[in-house]
Amino acid sequence: MFDTATSVPARSAWLEGTLRAQEKECRDQLSKDILGTGRRDSTVLWKASSDEASCNCVSSVLDPSPSICIGLGNATTKVLRVSIDGSKPAPQVLKVDAHEEFRGHRGYVSCILSLTKLVITGSFDGTVCIWRVEDGLLMGISDHHQGPIHNLSFDMQSRSLFSVSSDKTLRCLDLNNGNSRVVCNNLGREIMCCMATPRPHYPNLPWAIYAGSEDGMIFGVDGDTGKKLIKFTGHTDIVQKLALLGAAGQMLSGCRDNSVRRWCLRSGSCLFTYTSHTGPVFDLIPIRSGSECLSASKDGTVQRWDIVTGLVQQTYHGHNGAIFGMCITPSPVGCKLVTAGRDRTLRVWQPLEECEFCVTRCIGSCPYVRQTVQRCLGCEVDLTASQGEHRRGCTEVPRPCQFAQFGCEEMLGGKDMVTHESLCDFRPMRCPNSILGCPHEAPAPNIPAHALCYNPRAPALVESERRGFQCGKEDAANGRL
């Protein structure tokens, strides 16, 4: 007979390491296979003349008609607006005045941002220009920076435009009143990119703005006071792009060290490093509700890869040189990917699978699904007859955990998600001292420290308390608190 008290020995560290190495080798080999093949079916939407050096940045515009705005540099420093369907024979040039010889910026157009009926551009001449899309009229100009502007970020809730420059400052332009102020100037290094987060609803919480620098450092600063909140270390070269994964409380950063890193905004720790690119990464776009990412690089490719595992899902070839910018634009057949590169071309990619370029994963509404896909994403039911009605009610379609805002990254469907949410480590729980009057609620990992602060005699939270949330009441009833 077996001795029930004898435990089964755990696998040795050597075996665990061997299994992890084999899994990584298989994943890397699969990624290499996808990188070597990939898609090469893009079409050239527009090409600059020989005297225009490159397409530096690109942004999608929907009003008054679907189009793409391109920032050009070097020989001709101007901004063009090109129709997404290629029907416009001559692109519209956004310029200061039709009667003046120069066209807006006097330097390299480095960044571009679209806001419904407005286009905002930044340049190496140190100015930020705000244009009206409809007729290209210059609505406003800000020249407060003392150096080249590298990146722009906009917070829709407060209508605040953030800009970073080689003058080592992070500035905020309030579009409500036109006032410009210095948010932060004490980082001591050139700031190359920035990312604004939504202003928190609670007044006692800081408004976090993130800035990437020339030496690979990323800083989180208070958008109101400029105080340093957190520092992210790991990159070894210029940080080119920051992208927010809002639901998971995480951030992506693209760098000239050929890598993309995923960070936890709360702790500042690096959760994953993506290294499949062979050149600097210039642009990032999280897609499919933050489960995948598009990254554009100097190696001339755009790669679509899984945020968690880093497995390459698809590679897009076509440009003969670095890809400086990309954007997603809607269309009747699904979202399209538009890329701009050093080869002076603007290329467009059509979707070939469900939600291939959708920023948020569609459930029963993806245009590509309505025209081509015939099976449900979650349960594989035949959707030939009425796919929209089925998918809207299908409980097997994967969805984020309802506690994703507290840090949970699970994406499950059906009963699996119900089971997970009932045991999720990040679901809020009441303080064990609630019987004594404490109203505090927080995710389970944060409760022990709070409980000890509220009542120093309270014991550390054990697993049964974390799962059932009843032990605190029992201890209080028995007089142990």
Q: Are residues 345 and 449 in the same domain?
A: no
Q: Has residue 185 been placed in a domain?
A: yes
Report the C-alpha gap between 351 and 334 in whole angstroms: 7
DSSP string, 254-282: EETTS-EEEEETTT--EEEEE---SS-EE
Q: Are residues 326 and 451 in the same domain?
A: no
Query: Does residue 221 contact residue 228 with C-beta atoms inside 8 Å?
Result: yes
Backbone dihedral region for residue 126 (phi beyond 0: left; psi -120 to 50: alpha; all else: beta): left
Residue 20 dihedral angles phi and psi, to the nearest 5° = -65, -40
Domain boundary (349, 368, 389) is at 349
Q: Are residues 175 and 314 in the same domain?
A: yes
Tens-digit pLDDT profile for residues 36-92: 568 888 888 888 776 556 788 888 877 666 777 777 765 556 777 777 754 443 445
Q: Has residue 7 been placed in a domain?
A: no
Q: Has residue 325 been placed in a domain?
A: yes
Q: Is the pTM of this model over 0.85?
A: no
Q: Are residues 435 and 298 in the same domain?
A: no
Domain boundary (326, 349, 372) is at 349
pLDDT of residue 86: 46
- Residue 473 above 50 pLDDT? no
Domain boundary (307, 324, 349) is at 349
* Residue carrying the six token digits 């009926």: 117
Q: Are residues 231 and 87 in the same domain?
A: yes
Q: In CATH, what number is assigned to the domain containing residue 81?
A: 2.130.10.10
For residues 241-258, give the mean pLDDT: 89
Coil, helix or strand for 474? helix
DSSP string, 275-336: ---SS-EEEEEEETTTTEEEEEETTSEEEEEETTT--EEEEEE--SS-EEEEEEE--TTS-E
- Residue 177 above 70 pLDDT? yes
Q: Has residue 17 been placed in a domain?
A: no
Helix (H) or strand (E) holding 182: strand 180-184
Q: Are residues 343 and 454 in the same domain?
A: no
Q: Has residue 14 been placed in a domain?
A: no
How far from 5 is each of 217, 463, 475, CA to CA, in Å? 52, 22, 30
Coil, helix or strand for 387? helix
pLDDT-based confidence at residue 477 (cuts at 50, 70, 90): very low
Helix (H) or strand (E) holding 463: helix 463-468
pLDDT of residue 443: 73
- Residue 394 above 70 pLDDT? no
pLDDT of residue 73: 64
Contacts of 317 (CB under 8 A, 6+ apart): 38, 39, 40, 300, 301
pLDDT-based confidence at residue 396 (cuts at 50, 70, 90): low
- Residue 440 above 50 pLDDT? yes
* Residue carrying the six token digits 């709360």: 266
Mean pLDDT for the chain overall: 76
Contacts of 15 (CB under 8 A, 6+ apart): none
Pick the residue with more confidence: 440 or 377? 440
Pick the residue with more confidence: 21 or 313? 313
For residues 128-144, give the mean pLDDT: 84
Tens-digit pLDDT profile for residues 197-221: 988 876 677 889 999 999 999 999 9
Q: Are residues 258 and 149 in the same domain?
A: yes
Pick the residue with more confidence: 382 or 319? 319
Q: Has residue 256 been placed in a domain?
A: yes
Q: Are residues 470 and 336 in the same domain?
A: no
Query: Does residue 268 contact residue 253 with C-beta atoms inside 8 Å?
Result: no
Residue 432 dihedral angles phi and psi, to the nearest 5° = -60, -20
Q: What percent of the chain has pLDDT over 70?
A: 67
Residue 8 tokens read as 């089964």
Residue 179 identity: N
Number of domains making up the chain: 2
Q: Are residues 235 and 88 in the same domain?
A: yes
pLDDT of residue 191: 94
Sheet of 160-165: strand order equals 149-155, 160-165, 170-174, 180-184
Q: Has residue 362 been placed in a domain?
A: no
pLDDT of residue 380: 46
- Residue 478 above 60 pLDDT? no
Residue 163 tokens read as 């800009």
Tens-digit pLDDT profile for residues 259-302: 999 999 988 999 999 999 999 999 999 998 888 999 999 999 99
Q: Work out the burial of residue 111: count CB atoms within 10 Å of its CB; fewer than 13 is exposed, 13-18 middle, 19 or more buried.
A: buried
Q: What count of residues does the chain have? A: 481
Q: Are residues 131 and 240 in the same domain?
A: yes
Residue 123 identity: S
Q: Are residues 343 and 444 in the same domain?
A: no
Report the C-alpha gap between 27 and 309 in whole angstroms: 9
Range of the domain at 91: 43-349
Q: Has residue 461 been placed in a domain?
A: yes
Q: Are residues 297 and 432 in the same domain?
A: no
Residue 427 identity: R
Q: CA 329, 330, 331, 335: dihedral to nearest 10 degrees?
A: 80
